[in-house]
Amino acid sequence: MLAACNGATTKQNDRGEATVKEVHQAGVYTYLLVEKNKKDIWIAVPAMQAEVGETYYFEGGLEMKDFESKELERTFNSVLFVEGLSKTPLTGEPSMMDGSMMEETVHAGRVDVEKKEIEMEHTKGEITLADLFANKNDYTGKTIRVKGEVTKFNPSIMDRNWVHIQDGTEYEGQFDLTATTALEFEVGNIVTIEGTVSTDKDFGYGYVYDILLENAVLVQ
């Protein structure tokens, strides 16, 4: 999982062909030691299945130097983070892949979360997730309080922890709220948290959130 980068970051704009030599799974990311232009480099992509000996194609990316992965308990001299890998050579202008190429691309979007059967009583001052999703523009930039059951917790990704909660309500298929926090949570616990609402949040590397509760803290 992402942890910390103590060195510089550099954007890469070229295309590459990479043959996998090592595979390491680390939560939401897969780290691959690959041979590119007769040189071994580390690349990281959203979690995927890859096998030693396979060849992939990619373009661009963000090189992070002196990158520490707490999940793998190691520091890389350099890791190139890319949004996805293709099993077929990339054609056309960079970053302009057509629909068929996108279907060939191996990447991961947001983590799929199963809807749980939850019954939750809300007190004054708390809003339901259905209300939040239905009126997200009204809440953008505001500090709100929600109550729900922790359904997933991922620590130390991009220098923050990530928690998912559900309260049994939904709006147009949206039922799971993602929040960032400095705290640790246990899956299955019922919690009340408070944070600031952000919408259309793009962290890069395929992590785009329609709505996100940031800097969440526990409410006693």
Report pLDDT digits (tens) over 182-216: 999 999 999 999 999 999 887 655 567 889 999 99
Spacing of C-alpha 154 from chain mean position: 10
DSSP state of 172: T
Q: Give residue 184's pLDDT.
A: 93
Strand pairing class (207-218; 177-181)? parallel
Residue type, 14: D
Q: Say if 135 falls within a structural domain.
A: yes
Residue 94 and residue 154 in one domain: no
**Interior angle at CA 16, CA 6 and CA 13, nearest 5:** 60
CA dihedral (118, 144, 135, 160) in degrees, to 10, reads -80
Residue 74 and residue 167 in one domain: no
| CA end-to-end span of the chain | 30
Q: Say if 122 falls within a structural domain.
A: no
| Residue 51, both tokens | 């096998």
Q: Say if 48 falls within a structural domain.
A: yes
Residue 146: which CATH number? Answer: 2.40.50.140
pTM: 0.55
Q: Give residue 67's pLDDT.
A: 84
Residue 98 and residue 184 in one domain: no
Q: Say if 204 falls within a structural domain.
A: yes
Provide φ and ψ at 143, rounded to 5°. -90, 125
Of 106, 141, 160, the residue at which a domain comes to its end is 106
Report pLDDT digits (tens) over 99-133: 333 333 333 334 456 888 999 888 888 999 999 99
Q: How many domains does the chain have?
A: 2
- Cβ of 174: how many Cβ atoms within 10 Å? 16
- For a pLDDT cut of 70, what percent of the chain falls above it? 80
Q: Give residue 217's pLDDT.
A: 97
Q: How far apart are CA 152 and CA 146, in angstroms?
A: 16
Q: Say if 100 falls within a structural domain.
A: yes
Residue 12 and residue 83 in one domain: yes
Q: Give residue 204's pLDDT.
A: 59
Residue 18 and residue 66 in one domain: yes
Range of the domain at 156: 129-218
Spacing of C-alpha 114 from chain mean position: 17
145, 117, 151: which is closest to 131 by C-alpha?
145
CB contact at 8 A, 20 and 32: yes
Q: Say if 112 falls within a structural domain.
A: no
Q: Say if 121 falls within a structural domain.
A: no
The percent helix, strand, coil of the chain (3-state, each to 5) is 5, 50, 40
- Residue 91 or residue 87, greater confidence: 87
- Cβ of 85: how many Cβ atoms within 10 Å? 25
Q: Say if 119 falls within a structural domain.
A: no
Residue 42: which CATH number? Answer: 2.40.50
Query: Could you tell me the sign of the dihedral formed by the alpha carbons of 156, 28, 35, 57, in that order?
Result: negative
Residue 95 and residue 160 in one domain: no
Residue 70 and residue 134 in one domain: no
Q: Give residue 69's pLDDT.
A: 82
Residue 98 and residue 150 in one domain: no
Mean pLDDT, rounded, of the chain: 81
